[in-house]
């Protein structure tokens, strides 16, 4: 029987199968196979018949590569097996190779970006450290953070809404109310729990759907989740989170869990959080908390089973205070709406190396009116002519500023070619890995160039 799996760099993978032989059908590079503490190096075409055979759990595959994962296909069974792997393959649709050695469909496209660095003074924050704050009036309640970095906030009644297009610069602008609580972006939609009285709908919670880009209303979804512990004419809705095919709606008394059609599938009533003002999913963990010290006001759950977890499983920093709402940003910060200000805190230790603007030259992409941060590892200095000399992870910096969020650690596995005005003293500079990603080809994100400049990046879908 064939067993296909991927082993992460330097990791081990136990194979739950037994037999008297193991044959390596596929491996992008050499692997170490360990049977009953006896190791052997194997590659595609290798067969091993250990004396006495082995049972499920005896066979462990180790990836000796400290950088790249490896896709592996093993044939394991009893009797005999012989395959010299003389095989042919005809590819009609073009394919590309990732760093694990597997070919995938070619979804590459090229974005042409104009990049400039403005603020080049590094800023360091520890987990739980204050990043930015804006004080006063309508900024003090329930924040919603959009994927492009815009920040929305409504007051405790849900009446006064403010939009920050370039948080935290400027005073924000008043907009028409979207609902009554902290919302969440799901793909191209913004979902906000509504606060209007809906007796005709059986006093159920309503979720408003908006276009995330334009904030134009699309439709309302009447859920099966009921109002709780308050008059239907004065609902106390605080927050909405989405993930794992579910919506988690925090209100006075409980967190109701509905599916994507609004059908009630469960409820959470943590004993230490009477009014769940915050519902946040991070690191595969559901956090429910209100406005007190985190150690006494937060409950942790598995978002699929809804089983309670110990507070030690939290993926959020400890921040003390009285808050009316919470919002999680794509760039890895947590927003708190308090009694006097809207505050942003770092979730983990982070160094913001620079800020800048990146826009799509074709006019079909995002345009950043203000400075957007990057945590790429950069060395920067301003030259006498006003331009900025930058070296280090330039691709990561450009992509983070363009996308408005931090890149995952495997971002180089999505990049296949780069053309820049100038890199490492060569103008223009072209780097092309052909049919494999930069990660698979061993091309590092380490170069130097002066900015502003134009950079074209060819990458497959899934990163931006």
**What DSSP line would sit under 173-227, residue for residue?**
EEE----SSB-EEETTEEEEE--S--GGGTSEEEEEEEETTT--EEEEEEEEEEP
Token pair, residue 215, equals 């904030």
Q: Which residues pair with 104 in a beta bridge?
A: 96
Q: What pLDDT shows up at residue 361?
A: 81
Question: Does residue 253 come out as left (phi exceeding 0), alpha (psi in the -120 to 50 range) or beta?
Answer: left
Residue 313 main-chain phi, psi, to 5 deg: -80, 0
Q: What pLDDT shows up at residue 159?
A: 76
Token pair, residue 438, equals 């930069």
What gap in Å lies between CA 184 and CA 145, rounded to an integer? 7
- Hey, what domains does the chain have and what are their CATH numbers? 2-88 (2.60.120), 109-120+353-459 (no CATH), 123-346 (2.120.10.30)
What gap in Å lies between CA 447 and CA 150, rounded to an integer? 31
Q: What pLDDT shows up at residue 233?
A: 52
Residue 294 main-chain phi, psi, to 5 deg: -60, -30
What gap in Å lies between CA 27 and CA 7, rounded to an integer? 10
Contacts 24+ apart (CB under 8 A), 104-108: 104/460, 106/460, 107/460, 107/461, 107/462, 108/416, 108/458, 108/459, 108/460
Using the structure block, give the residue that is written with the tokens 């091993």: 48
Name, in order, each residue with C-beta under 8 angstroms of 160's C-beta and a sequence gap of 6 or more. 137, 138, 154, 174, 177
Contacts 24+ apart (CB under 8 A), 298-307: 298/272, 298/273, 299/268, 299/270, 299/272, 299/273, 301/268, 303/243, 303/244, 303/246, 303/248, 304/244, 306/257, 306/266, 306/268
User: Residue 327's closest CA among 251, 240, 221?
Assistant: 240
User: Residue 101's closest CA among 411, 432, 437, 417?
Assistant: 437
Q: Is 424 in a helix, a strand, or coil?
A: coil
| No. of helices (H) and no. of strands (E), the chain | 3, 41
Q: What pLDDT shows up at residue 88?
A: 47
Token pair, residue 418, equals 């780069």
Q: Is 279 in a helix, a strand, or coil?
A: strand
Q: What pLDDT shows up at residue 395?
A: 96
pTM of the shown model: 0.68
Residue spans of beta strands (DSSP E) within 29-87: 31-35, 38-42, 47-48, 59-62, 70-77
Q: What pLDDT shows up at residue 137?
A: 59
Task: Specify whether the CB–CB gap between 95 and 108 falls below 8 A.
Answer: no
**What DSSP line would sit under 85-101, residue for residue?**
-------SS-EEE-TTS
Q: What pLDDT shows up at residue 192?
A: 93
pLDDT tens string, the chain, 464 residues long: the values are: 888 888 988 899 999 889 999 999 888 889 999 998 899 999 988 899 998 889 888 999 999 988 788 889 999 988 876 655 544 454 455 667 777 777 777 888 999 999 999 999 999 999 888 888 887 655 567 899 998 888 998 887 777 888 988 788 767 888 988 988 889 999 889 999 886 555 556 678 889 999 998 999 999 998 998 877 565 555 567 789 999 999 999 887 789 999 999 999 999 988 877 778 889 999 899 998 875 444 447 889 999 999 999 988 988 887 666 677 788 888 788 888 876 788 899 988 989 999 999 988 865 444 445 678 899 999 999 999 999 999 999 999 999 999 888 898 889 999 999 999 999 989 889 999 888 899 988 899 999 999 999 999 999 988 88
Q: What pLDDT shows up at residue 262?
A: 92
Query: Distances from the Cα of 59 to the Cαs of 17, 50, 127, 352, in angstroms?
Result: 8, 11, 40, 44
Q: What share of the chain is helix, strand, coil (3-state, %, to 5)?
A: 5, 45, 45
């Amino acid at each position: 029987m064939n067993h296909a799996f991927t082993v992460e760099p330097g990791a081990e993978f136990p194979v739950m199968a037994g037999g008297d032989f193991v044959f390596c059908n596929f491996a992008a590079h050499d692997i170490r196979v360990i049977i009953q503490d006896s190791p052997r190096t194997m590659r595609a075409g290798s067969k091993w018949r250990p004396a006495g055979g082995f049972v499920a759990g005896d066979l462990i595959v180790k990836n000796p590569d400290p950088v790249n994962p490896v896709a592996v296909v093993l044939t394991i069974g009893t009797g005999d097996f012989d395959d010299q792997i003389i095989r042919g393959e005809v590819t009609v649709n073009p394919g590309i190779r990732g760093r694990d050695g597997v070919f995938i469909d070619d979804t590459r496209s090229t974005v042409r970006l104009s990049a400039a660095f403005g603020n080049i003074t590094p800023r360091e924050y520890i987990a739980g450290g204050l990043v930015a704050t804006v004080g006063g009036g309508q900024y003090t309640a329930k924040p919603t953070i959009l994927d492009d970095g815009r920040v929305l906030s409504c007051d405790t009644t849900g009446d006064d809404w403010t939009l920050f297009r370039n948080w935290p610069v400027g005073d924000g602008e008043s907009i028409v109310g979207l609902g009554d609580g902290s919302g969440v972006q799901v793909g191209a939609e913004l979902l906000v729990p509504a606060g209007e009285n809906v007796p005709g709908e059986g006093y159920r919670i309503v979720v408003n759907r908006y276009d995330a880009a334009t904030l134009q209303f699309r439709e309302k979804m009447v859920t099966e989740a009921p109002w709780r512990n308050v008059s239907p004419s004065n609902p106390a809705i605080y927050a909405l989170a989405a993930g794992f095919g579910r919506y988690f709606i925090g209100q006075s008394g409980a967190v109701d869990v509905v599916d994507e059609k609004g059908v009630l599938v469960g409820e959470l009533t943590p004993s230490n959080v009477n009014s769940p003002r915050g519902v946040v999913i991070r690191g595969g963990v559901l956090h429910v908390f209100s406005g007190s010290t985190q150690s006494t006001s937060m409950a942790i759950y598995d978002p699929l089973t809804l089983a309670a977890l110990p507070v030690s499983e939290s993926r959020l920093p400890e921040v003390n205070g009285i808050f009316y709402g919470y919002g999680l940003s794509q760039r890895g910060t947590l927003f708190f709406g308090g009694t006097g200000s809207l505050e942003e805190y770092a979730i983990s230790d982070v160094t913001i190396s620079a800020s800048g603007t990146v826009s799509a030259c074709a006019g079909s992409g995002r345009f950043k009116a203000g400075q957007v941060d990057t945590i790429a590892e950069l060395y920067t200095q301003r030259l006498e002519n006003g331009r900025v000399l930058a070296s280090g992870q330039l691709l990561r910096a450009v992509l983070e500023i363009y996308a408005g969020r931090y890149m995952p650690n495997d971002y180089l596995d999505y990049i296949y070619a780069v053309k820049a005005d100038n890199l490492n003293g060569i103008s223009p500079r072209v780097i092309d890995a052909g049919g494999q990603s930069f990660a698979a080809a061993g091309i590092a994100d380490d170069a130097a160039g002066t900015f502003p400049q134009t950079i074209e990046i060819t990458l497959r879908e899934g990163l931006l």
